[in-house]
Structure 1
Amino acid sequence: MAQAKGTRRGMSPDAGVEISEDTFPELDAVAAIQRGLHSFNQEMGGPYDREPVTLLARAADGSARGGLLGLTFWGWLFIDWLWLSRDLRGKGVGSELLQRAEAIARERGCAQAYTDTFSFQAPGFWEANGYTEFGRLDGMPAGHARVWFRKAL
């Protein structure tokens, strides 16, 4: 069998499987991993009831100038992305996006929210909006930290 470029292979003798590093995995393999973990998670924690939360801040011409991307599941709001163009920062738009996302989450029965950010991405914004730090990974990236925040809704 020819080895694909960017692939390293080796056997795991105790498990009887081949372990490979693959720079360009086929979509079926990626989907199998995702389906397997989602299935296990739901078996252990119950149905996800995953629903996206998407809020956009648009200019008059319709172009996206920022927004919030997240999802609700297991009674939690997870805020994955919150970004605003530089000209919109400090004008309350971020807080409005966050408040609207939290309202959507409460309507869906969520009682908690969480996010992660970096120390150079205005963690004070989260604190000003009622979020509390509950985890920190210093040196990620070098000279900075990755920070996790949560809030009871």
Structure 2
Amino acid sequence: MSIKQMEYTKNKELTLSELESYTKKIVPELEQEYQQISFVYESEGVVLGRIVGFIHWDHLQIELFYVSNNTQGQGIGTKLLNHVESIAKQQNKSYIFLETMSFNAPKFYEKHGYEVVGKIVNSPMENQIRFFYKKDIYI
């Protein structure tokens, strides 16, 4: 017996497939769709913001979200966030979930109706907080 390293993307895909197969046996009525989402906001060929995530089961999860420093506060983040929220609504998902840090944008998410559902104090370093946010989607 041994534990060995495996290439991340392949291991992630195989693990997801195996978990989905297991889940389907236990809860066959649960939708097994896994849809990646990836959008950029650009102006004159320059990317000013990016958002990446996925839709799975009953929710949309935002994994990565970035707006360039020199354009923050100009509504780009709001436009990207509204765009993925509209996708969640169109697909009848129950909620949106994301993770952020106290030094990133917790006030931005709260301003847009996201609520803290969990936090880890002193992470990723002392005097910082890792936040987990959720926004219910109602059609």
| Class of the TM-score when normalised by the shorter of the 2 chains | 0.7 to 0.9
Between stretches 43-52 and 112-121, larger displacement belongs to 43-52
Larger radius of gyration: 1
Q: Among the aligned pairs, what percent are the same residue?
A: 23
Distance 1:92 1:124 in 2: 14
Give the match's secondary structure for 1:33: helix
Matched, 1:109 2:92: yes
Aligned to 1:59: 43
17, 31, 53: which one pairs with 1:35? 17
Distance 2:91 2:119 in 1: 29
Tell me how many residue pairs correspond in the alignment.
133
Change (3 A) 1:55 1:27: closer
Unaligned 5+ segments in structure 2 are: none
Residues 2-151 of structure 1 aligned to structure 2 (within 5 Å) = 18-20=1-3, 22-23=4-5, 25=6, 30=11, 31-45=13-27, 46-60=30-44, 62-143=45-126, 144-151=128-135
Name the aligned partner's letter for residue 54 of structure 1. Answer: S
After TM superposition, what 4+ stretches of structure 1 lie above 6 angstroms from structure 2?
none
TM-score using structure 2 length: 0.84
Give the match's secondary structure for 2:83: helix
Change (3 A) 1:137 1:107: same
* Cα drift, residue 26 of structure 1: 5.4
Q: Which has the higher contact order (CA 8 A, sep 6+)?
A: 2
* Cα drift, residue 140 of structure 1: 1.5
Deviations 1:84-128 (A, max 9, x none): 101121111111111111101111111211101111111111100
Distance 1:29 1:103 in 2: 31
Change (3 A) 1:87 1:37: same
